[in-house]
């Protein structure tokens, strides 16, 4: 159990103000309808930096030791000098949630996808289109502005608010403009997507409802991100939308499951579709089919479609049991 909050909360102020600086840079870099590739690159890098700084500032406001990679080894001198290894973004979100900070799976997915893109960008160069970066930036900017207003801004003294109030106002007015491209394009795409709402997913790259799952050869109608195979889309969706890790997806318990229709190991039990955007459903990325009311076989533990009330065993296991008898 942790007690004694330790260093005063004002130590979080520099982190907050540093994060606001990064956000201001992002909106400045994305100013205009056609940002240059270099501007897009630094927008991703600065937005990821802002995300880490601001979320950790929120964590420090709860207990400064939670920012350490190993809280049990935290010491005040290291914290004050910044000479310590801090927790990663996944642990930051986990610890915030454990202390009552509401971060939805969708928000976690958007932040996780941004972190993943930043890592690829640093090592391999740009991998997303301008449309994807702008759309993703708009989503994460909105998340961070809400986080600042809800969890950080109230504790800041008047002098700091006055110093950065103008930047905050400019950031707030820039977010709708940055998201405006994606919003306008989605309006144009609406007639094209309407017939496929029951198989349309939120895009892991740009976060818009614009991926019509087609097994192989799926792509986002907005940002043109392409998935050659259904497993690639499944993994990116689980990471970029649901906020899972690749390890989570590949694990037998809670990850991809066998589909009761096509038997492919391509079923996720929590997927959101455009026709029911707030309802988690099971969905097979191979046969491109949503399922409601799947049961778990008590014998083989795989998902199955019950054929009657109270079914506990799938047809395959039932048949096998009859044959063995």
| Closest by Cα among 201, 228, 231, 197 to 213 | 201
Query: Hey, what are 240's tokens?
Result: 């970029």
Tell me the pLDDT tens digit for each residue of 249-301: 776 555 788 888 888 889 998 999 999 998 999 999 999 999 987 887 877 77
* Each residue's pLDDT tens digit, 223-238: 888 899 899 999 999 9
pTM of the model: 0.70
Q: Above 60 in pLDDT, residue 98?
A: yes
> 6 exposed, middle or buried (CB, 10 Å; 0-12, 13-18, 19+)?
middle
Q: Which two tokens stand for residue 271?
A: 């997927």
Q: CA 242, 122, 178, 224: dihedral to nearest 10 degrees?
A: -70
DSSP class of residue 257 equals B
Dist. CA 139–CA 203, nearest whole Å: 12
Query: Percentage of residues in the chain with pLDDT exceeding 90?
Result: 33
């Amino acid at each position: 159990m942790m007690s004694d909050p330790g260093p005063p909360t004002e130590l979080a102020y520099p982190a907050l103000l540093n994060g606001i600086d990064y956000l201001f840079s992002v909106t400045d870099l994305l100013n205009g309808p056609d940002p240059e590739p270099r501007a897009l690159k630094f927008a991703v890098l600065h937005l990821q930096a802002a995300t880490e700084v601001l979320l950790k500032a929120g964590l420090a406001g709860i207990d400064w030791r939670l920012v350490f990679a190993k809280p049990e080894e935290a010491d005040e001198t290291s914290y004050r000098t910044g000479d310590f290894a801090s927790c990663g973004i996944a642990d930051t979100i986990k610890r915030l949630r454990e202390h009552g900070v509401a971060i939805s799976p969708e928000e976690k997915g958007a932040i996780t996808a941004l972190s993943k893109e930043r890592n690829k960008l640093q090592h391999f160069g740009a991998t997303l289109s301008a449309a994807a970066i702008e759309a993703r930036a708009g989503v994460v900017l909105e998340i961070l502005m809400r986080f600042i207003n809800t969890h950080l801004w109230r504790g800041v003294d008047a002098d700091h608010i006055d110093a950065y109030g103008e930047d905050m106002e400019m950031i707030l007015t820039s977010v709708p403009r940055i998201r405006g491209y994606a919003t306008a394009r989605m309006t144009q795409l609406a007639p094209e997507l309407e017939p496929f709402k029951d198989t349309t997913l939120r895009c892991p790259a740009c976060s818009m409802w614009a991926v019509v799952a087609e097994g192989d050869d799926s792509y986002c109608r907005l940002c043109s991100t392409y998935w050659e195979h259904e497993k690639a889309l499944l993994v990116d969706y689980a990471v970029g939308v649901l906020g899972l890790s690749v390890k989570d997806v590949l694990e037998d318990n809670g990850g991809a499951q066998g589909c009761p229709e096509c038997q492919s190991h391509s079923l996720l039990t929590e997927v959101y579709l455009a026709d029911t955007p707030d309802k988690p459903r099971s969905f097979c990325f191979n046969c491109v089919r949503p399922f409601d009311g799947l049961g778990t076989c008590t014998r083989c533990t795989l998902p199955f479609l019950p054929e009657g009330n109270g079914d506990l065993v799938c047809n395959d296991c039932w048949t096998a049991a009859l044959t063995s008898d």
